[in-house]
Amino acid sequence: MNTVKGIEIADTLALRVIGCNGEFKLDESEKIVLAEFDNGITINIGQKISIGTPPIVYKANHITKIGPENNSHVEIRMAYRTKASVFITPMIFDNRSNMFFSRLLLNCFIATESDKECIAVLYRFSGTKDFLQFESEVEAHPNYLRTEETSKVTTMYIFSIPDKWKEDYDKFLSGKYSAMSPAYKVKLLSFHMEGEGSTLHSILTRDPERQRVLSEQLGVKLYNHEEVMSSPTLEKETYSRVVYDI
């Protein structure tokens, strides 16, 4: 594991390098596998990076150059936010801040290595009083199944699907976001503190303007009955120990 200076935290899943020129080695599919910067930083795919005090560990599963040539930065990402993190977490939790959504949550999944259909939330473990109180509340949840210590620094809490939201869960699996129940749509928007005009609202309502923009971007005609967000991919929505090996 390398402790790297000159990198800043973007979020719980990603780091970024700003203000440095770099040279990149690409694989056969044109993806970056090695980045060498003029400040001496070298990052390669699979590398574990420790940043901050106390140290927070990231794994470089994706290296991406973002932005125009004269104003770009490099993102070093362990994983992308799952669709389940947006659409499924409110089935268990009522409030983003109370569940450390932005601070400690890594991702939410619809399956694990041993569970075909569930709700699993992966966290960076914290020994703070607030997090331990949160953990006690998690274990008291009526749908709580078990806790898995997934690494020295991560913990995963696994739940069954609440009966109340099972139909909405199934709608999510099939990518039928606009067909979710009115009650769950309200809960989703409230949970994420989003309203009319937001991206989430446009997905839930199959907004015509979003359809038009997507049609132009994709170069294909989208019909009125079609959703305006792609369906979840099982592989991406399933917990992988290899991806989150930190």
Q: How far apart are CA 246 and CA 240, in angstroms?
A: 12
Residue 173 lies in a domain: no
pLDDT tier for residue 94 given thresholds of 50, 70 and 90: very high
Residue 91 lies in a domain: yes
Residue 209 lies in a domain: no
Residue 175 lies in a domain: no
State how beta strands 62-66 and 2-3 pair.
unpaired
pLDDT tier for residue 149 given thresholds of 50, 70 and 90: very high
pLDDT tier for residue 54 given thresholds of 50, 70 and 90: confident
Structure confidence by residue, pLDDT tens digits, 170-187: 999 999 999 999 999 999
Same domain, 91 and 50: no
Q: Is 80 exceeded by the pLDDT of residue 30?
A: yes
How many CB atoms neighbour CB 149 within 10 A?
Answer: 10
Domains in the chain, number: 2
Same domain, 90 and 156: yes
Residue 217 lies in a domain: no
Share of the chain above pLDDT 70, in %: 97
Structure confidence by residue, pLDDT tens digits, 107-123: 999 999 999 999 999 99
Residue 108 lies in a domain: yes
Contact 43, 54 (CB under 8 A): no
**Among the three residues 43, 77, 111, which one is the final residue of a domain in this structure?**
77
Same domain, 47 and 96: no
pTM exceeds cut of 0.85: yes
Q: What is the DSSP letter of 188?
A: H
Same domain, 108 and 87: yes
Same domain, 68 and 117: no
Q: How far apart are CA 110 and CA 159, in angstroms?
A: 10
Same domain, 48 and 90: no
Question: In the chain, where do the E strands start and end?
Answer: 2-3, 8-11, 14-18, 22-26, 32-37, 42-44, 48-51, 56-59, 62-66, 73-77, 105-109, 119-124, 144-148, 154-159
With tokens 């599963």, the residue in question is 61
Same domain, 94 and 150: yes
Q: Is 70 exceeded by the pLDDT of residue 1?
A: no
**How confident is the prediction for the chain on average, in pLDDT?**
92
Mean of the pLDDT values across residues 69-95?
92
Same domain, 66 and 98: no
Q: Is 60 exceeded by the pLDDT of residue 7?
A: yes
**Among the three residues 164, 189, 206, which one is the final residue of a domain in this structure?**
164
Residue 228 lies in a domain: no
Same domain, 23 and 37: yes
pLDDT tier for residue 67 given thresholds of 50, 70 and 90: confident
Q: Where are the alpha helices (DSSP H) in the chain?
A: 83-87, 129-139, 166-173, 182-191, 199-204, 208-218
Residue 129 lies in a domain: yes
Contact 172, 84 (CB under 8 A): yes
**Among the three residues 13, 43, 77, which one is the final residue of a domain in this structure?**
77
Same domain, 156 and 90: yes
Domain that residue 66 falls in:
2-77
Same domain, 67 and 26: yes
